[in-house]
């Protein structure tokens, strides 16, 4: 028990050290706290030192996102989302279209090397439109071999870690050269980014944190998360349960953001982002490179082609249809990795204006995942 408590404390304290490092080091500041936490988690996961305590980061990833999500929304100007809603929806359609096209290509390329490829194609359509709940339900519907199912799930975790690492590192700088660079609509964010950050001594740096405001935003955030999660669990179908929880927490978070007393709590976004750092550290530490190394090379190649091939085709289509960088990135993250990863990407690109767009796309993806996945599987079966 003592060791478990120490591990939990380490997960909660490590992001504070990362934030301090980013404050005092220009190099670390340019890399970003999200990426550093994610990299530390991957290193921890690859060593296997926490293999006997995997339940701890697993629980932390389950708790931190529902808690962080409302706090991140408290300072979001929801009215600005109307200006981006059409582009976000178009980006979602382009992403799904690209995914379907790539799955067709991968099916014909690998069907002679992997058993039940038509089922795997449908499985990946559901996974990269919705998320893990869709993956489980489609596996049940198609009666896919459990060995293949576990293999696909393990590979997705590992390749997905590489994908997220790409998104939170140099993706924005690269994509800005290809797509239309995003102009922040929120003047507040632009003004904050222009401020010259001075390196403060440790005591002065810590004094910037208001304990009272932190407790207030944690309290309201917890109430929103419990309300949304509690009502969401009334949905018994696991396929739609996660979508319901995310949607309800988002809705209650937006509603709370319109309450004057909540809106006036300073630092809500910062506290929410701290939870995202804990999530980034925990989810990355769940990675196990030994597991993926033992799987079929063709299966690894199949998932890799679908994930990064659909991303590349989505990028090309966004270029054609003039979708800006940040919308493309959060849309892609929401569909390929699911809504909980949207705040991670938002923190990395420093544009909270696209938060609601990304989460909304992800929730719609949850709803569509099963239909598209199962339908695509049976279409491939006919070929």
Q: Output the CA–CA distances (angstroms, integers) from residue 304 to 103, 264, 340, in the order listed.
A: 11, 45, 21
Q: Tokens 């966004």 label which residue?
A: 318
Residue 220 confidence (pLDDT) above 90: yes
Contact 299, 106 (CB under 8 A): no
pLDDT in tens, 244-267: 887 788 788 888 888 888 888 888
Task: With cut-offs at 50, 70 and 90, classify the pLDDT of residue 239.
Answer: low
How far apart, in whole angstroms, are the C-alpha atoms of residue 330 and residue 358?
Answer: 5
CATH number of the domain enclosing 322: 1.20.1530
Task: With cut-offs at 50, 70 and 90, classify the pLDDT of residue 195.
Answer: very low
State the pLDDT at residue 292: 59
Domain of 257, in residue numbers: 2-382
Residue 357 confidence (pLDDT) above 90: no
Q: Output the CA–CA distances (angstroms, integers) from residue 37 to 69, 112, 285, 301, 332, in the order listed.
A: 19, 40, 10, 27, 21
Task: With cut-offs at 50, 70 and 90, classify the pLDDT of residue 185.
Answer: low
Q: How many domains does the chain have?
A: 1
Task: With cut-offs at 50, 70 and 90, classify the pLDDT of residue 189.
Answer: very low
Task: With cut-offs at 50, 70 and 90, classify the pLDDT of residue 233.
Answer: confident
How many C-alpha atoms does 210 have within 13 Å on its Cβ side? 11
How far apart, in whole angstroms, are the C-alpha atoms of residue 257 and residue 338?
Answer: 23
Residue 226 confidence (pLDDT) above 90: yes
State the pLDDT at residue 190: 44
Choose from 162-171, 237-246, 284-293 the range with maximum mean pLDDT.
162-171
Contact 218, 361 (CB under 8 A): no
């Amino acid at each position: 028990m003592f060791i478990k408590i120490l591990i939990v404390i380490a997960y909660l304290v490590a992001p504070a050290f990362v934030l301090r490092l980013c404050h005092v080091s220009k190099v670390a500041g340019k890399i970003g706290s999200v990426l550093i936490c994610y990299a530390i988690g991957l290193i921890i996961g690859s060593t296997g030192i926490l293999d006997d305590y995997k339940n701890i980061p697993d629980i932390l990833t389950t708790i931190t996102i529902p808690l962080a999500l409302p706090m991140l929304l408290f300072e979001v100007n929801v009215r600005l989302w109307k200006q981006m809603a059409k582009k976000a929806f178009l980006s979602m359609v382009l992403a799904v279209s690209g995914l379907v096209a790539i799955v067709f290509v991968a099916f014909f390329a690998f069907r002679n090397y992997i058993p039940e490829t038509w089922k795997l194609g449908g499985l990946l359509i559901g996974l990269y439109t919705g998320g893990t709940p869709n993956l489980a339900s489609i596996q049940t519907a198609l009666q896919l071999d459990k060995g293949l199912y576990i293999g696909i799930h393990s590979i997705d975790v590992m390749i997905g870690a590489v994908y997220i690492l790409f998104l939170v590192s140099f993706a924005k700088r690269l994509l800005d050269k290809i797509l239309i660079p995003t102009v922040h609509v929120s003047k507040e964010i632009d003004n904050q980014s222009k401020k010259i950050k001075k390196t403060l001594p440790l005591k002065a740096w810590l004094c910037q944190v208001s304990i009272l405001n932190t407790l207030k935003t944690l309290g309201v955030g917890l109430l929103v998360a419990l309300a949304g999660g509690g009502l969401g669990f009334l949905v018994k179908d696991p396929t739609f349960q996660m979508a319901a929880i995310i949607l309800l927490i988002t809705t209650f978070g937006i509603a709370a953001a319109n309450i004057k007393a909540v809106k006036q709590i300073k630092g809500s976004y910062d506290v929410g982002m701290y939870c995202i750092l804990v999530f980034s550290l925990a989810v990355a530490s769940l990675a196990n490179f030994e597991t993926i190394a033992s799987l079929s090379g063709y299966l690894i190649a199949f998932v890799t082609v679908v994930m990064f091939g659909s991303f590349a085709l989505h990028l090309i289509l966004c270029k054609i249809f003039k979708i800006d960088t940040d919308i493309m990135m959060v849309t892609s993250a929401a569909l390929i990795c699911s809504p909980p990863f949207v705040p991670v990407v938002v923190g990395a690109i420093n544009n909270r204006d696209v938060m609601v767009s990304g989460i909304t796309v992800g929730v719609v993806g949850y709803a569509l995942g099963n239909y598209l996945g199962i339908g695509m599987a049976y279409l491939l079966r006919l070929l």
